[in-house]
Amino acid sequence: MISSEVGQRIIRILYNQNMWWSTQAVPNTLSKPFKRRDFYVLKDKILEKEITAVVGPRQVGKTTILYQLIEHLINDERVDPRRILFLSFDYPYLTTITETLMNDIFEIYPPQILHESVQKLNDTIYVFLDEICKLKDWSRILKGWYDLKYPINFVVSDSSIADVIKGSSESLVGRISPYTMLSMKFLDVVKYHEKDNNLDYLFNRVNWNLRETFLGSIKTSNPKIFYNEIKNAYTTLVPYEDKLKIYLQEYFLKDGYPELLDIESLTSCAEKLRTYLNLTLYKDIVRIFDVRDPKALEELVMLLADASSQRVNYDKLSKNLSIKRDTLIKYLNYLESIFLISRAEFYAKSRASRIRKQKKVYLGNIGLRNALIGTLNEGLLRDNAELGNVAEMLVHEHCKRLKFCLEPGFTELFYWRTAQGEEVDIVVELLRKPIPIESKYRNDIHKKDLKGLYQFLKEYEGPFGVVITKDRFDLRENIVYIPLWLFLLMC
């Protein structure tokens, strides 16, 4: 039994965080008008009985999408606003987060707000818990409530997939459905800027048709199906090509953090991204994993930003940082668990062969990479070598998203390299077939530039290869050429 003083404090906190109990609506400042694609997936997931866990890096809009889902429940699902409970564990007045907090809330919320007992709820209630991992033993607590089988749908969010997966594997096996939310991909950024329903439909149709024909070409080993749709898409989008290229230049510089989309000052964007990195390193990794040498971790991120999209020698890197190799591998795992980096193994049929080779490492966000190495400025757009690196980073990140959309689950990507040094930038496995992808952000591309691609197709009998170009689309033998901006729209 909680005291009346604690009870009154909890009620004040709940009313402050759940304004819709009084106003019947979510404030516009919290639920932004633009809805990215993740919203349309999540609005169906939250109606399911499994606990929905929205995980992803800081500043990608997780809290905003929770408010949009609440607005959707009120407006479209006709849920009584009082049956929607939101609690952020980052709330400034929530000074103490105890293990009994959820029990205290459920002792107060149903009887005093809904005038029902939690044991006899008349209808479903929706409980949104933001930054859930700040609640100690959160997975055990949620398991307890979930297993009581009350009509309660839980939606939780956090910035650390490592914490969520750990909690899921320990207590919530079969009870939780994680959903990864990243910074906005190029298609979302284009749609954000356009805000036109007709164009929204057009871009969605292009995206869908390209994906379908891409899969169709893989199934039949016939690249002409995909190439014909590329021609159709290009013809459809010709009136918007110049505008799309302007958005691509902006994306080259800032990537897709929602907070940066309306900020024109690139200096301000760089400052915000560096602040974001400090928060991520010191509030997430150091806190979650109890890192003893945060300075080495910070230096590691700087080195990886400079070497993004390159193969990394772990022994050399650990020596440069004056840390043990095992410690380096732990730090890399930590960075990958919170989406700061992504790694690609060497492609081989033998798992042992894959492990023995060096891995390629990519910083997960181009804007952050640019901010860290001093290229978040207009000069980047005139530096062909840097643009080539940035383009490959974009292709890698969007290939991961494409694979997840076409084959939900593990989004592992690979690279390939011959003993003579001929390389394929990215290898994606779809329908159990390897698709080699080469990023060449230019139009003057000759067969000799694609030796690795041709050799890979010969050795692994892939259905076809893909070359990402600046503007060129073409079909030569079994190689499809597609402009970067159009490829990104497909993903």
pLDDT per position as a tens digit, 173-186: 788 888 889 999 99
| Pick from 62-76, 155-169, 319-333, 368-382: least confident | 155-169
When the pLDDT of each residue in the chain is averaged and rounded to a whole number, the result is: 92
Say if CB 416 and CB 423 are below 8 A apart.
yes
Which tokens sit at 414?
């690979």
For residues 137 and 258, state if they share a domain. Answer: no
For residues 303 and 441, state if they share a domain. Answer: yes
- Pairwise CA distance, residues 441 & 396, whole Å: 13
Which residues, 6 or more positions from 457, have their beta carbon under 8 angstroms from its beta carbon? Answer: 436, 464, 465, 478
Which residues, 6 or more positions from 329, have their beta carbon under 8 angstroms from its beta carbon? Answer: 314
For residues 96 and 201, state if they share a domain. Answer: no
What Å distances lie between residue 480 and 186, 230, 285, 435, 450, CA to CA? 21, 9, 41, 11, 12
For residues 360 and 442, state if they share a domain. Answer: yes
CA 62 to chain centre: 10
Say if CB 162 and CB 58 are below 8 A apart.
no
* pLDDT value of position 370: 97
Domain boundary pick from 131, 159, 181: 181
Which value, to the nearest 10 degrees, does the dihedral of the CA atoms of residues 88, 92, 93, 94 take?
50
Residue 124, CB-side half-sphere exposure with 13 Å CA sphere: 15
* Residue span of the structural domain in which 10 resides: 4-181
| Pick from 104-113, 134-143, 272-281, 369-378: least confident | 134-143
* pLDDT value of position 34: 93
Residue 457 pLDDT > 80, yes or no? yes
SS3 for 36-74, per residue? CHHHHHHHHHCCCCCEEEEECCCCCCHHHHHHHHHHHHH
Which tokens sit at 413?
């990507």
Let me know if 339 is exposed, middle or buried by CB neighbors in 10 A (0-12, 13-18, 19+).
buried
* pLDDT value of position 347: 96
Residue type, position 447, single letter: K
Say if CB 347 and CB 354 are below 8 A apart.
yes
- Average the pLDDT over 29-35 and give the result: 92
For residues 162 and 206, state if they share a domain. Answer: no
- Average the pLDDT over 465-469 and give the result: 98
In the three-class reduction of DSSP (H, G, I as helix; E, B as strand; rest coil), residue 290 is classed as: coil
Residue 168 pLDDT > 70, yes or no? no
For residues 50 and 172, state if they share a domain. Answer: yes
Domain boundary pick from 122, 155, 181: 181
- Pairwise CA distance, residues 252 & 388, whole Å: 10
Which of 178, 123, 131, 127 is closest to 158 using CA atoms? 131
Helix, strand, coil shares, percent, the chain, to 5: 55, 15, 30
Say if CB 315 and CB 328 are below 8 A apart.
no
* pLDDT value of position 110: 94
CATH of the domain at 20: 3.40.50.300
* Share of residues in the chain with pLDDT > 90 (%): 78
β-bridge mates for residue 51, sequence order: 176
In the three-class reduction of DSSP (H, G, I as helix; E, B as strand; rest coil), residue 77 is classed as: coil
Which of 24, 473, 471, 7 is closest to 248 using CA atoms? 471
Residue 70 pLDDT > 70, yes or no? yes
Residue 169 pLDDT > 80, yes or no? no
Say if CB 187 and CB 491 are below 8 A apart.
yes
* pLDDT value of position 95: 61
Our count of domains for the chain comes to: 2
For residues 441 and 474, state if they share a domain. Answer: yes
- Pairwise CA distance, residues 427 & 450, whole Å: 14
The model's pTM: 0.91
Q: How many CB atoms lie within 10 A of CB 292?
A: 10
> 332 — phi, psi (to 5°)?
-65, -40
For residues 174 and 193, state if they share a domain. Answer: no
For residues 318 and 399, state if they share a domain. Answer: yes
- Pairwise CA distance, residues 211 & 292, whole Å: 45
- Average the pLDDT over 372-383 and give the result: 96
For residues 198 and 56, state if they share a domain. Answer: no
* pLDDT value of position 67: 98
Domain boundary pick from 181, 203, 219: 181
At 1, the pLDDT band (50, 70, 90 cuts) reads low
- Average the pLDDT over 235-245 and give the result: 96
Longest dimension (CA), the chain: 78
At 7, the pLDDT band (50, 70, 90 cuts) reads confident
* pLDDT value of position 196: 86
For residues 203 and 144, state if they share a domain. Answer: no
| Pick from 128-137, 239-248, 397-406, 476-485: least confident | 128-137
SS3 for 110-154, per residue? HHHHHCCCHHHCCCCEEEEEECHHHCCCHHHHHHHHHHCCCCEEE
* Share of residues in the chain with pLDDT > 70 (%): 98
Say if CB 457 and CB 435 are below 8 A apart.
no
For residues 177 and 194, state if they share a domain. Answer: no
Plot region of 55 (φ>0 → left; ψ -120 to 50 → alpha; else → beta) = beta
At 162, the pLDDT band (50, 70, 90 cuts) reads low
Beta strands in 135-237 (DSSP E): 152-158, 176-180
* pLDDT value of position 125: 97
- Average the pLDDT over 431-441 and give the result: 97
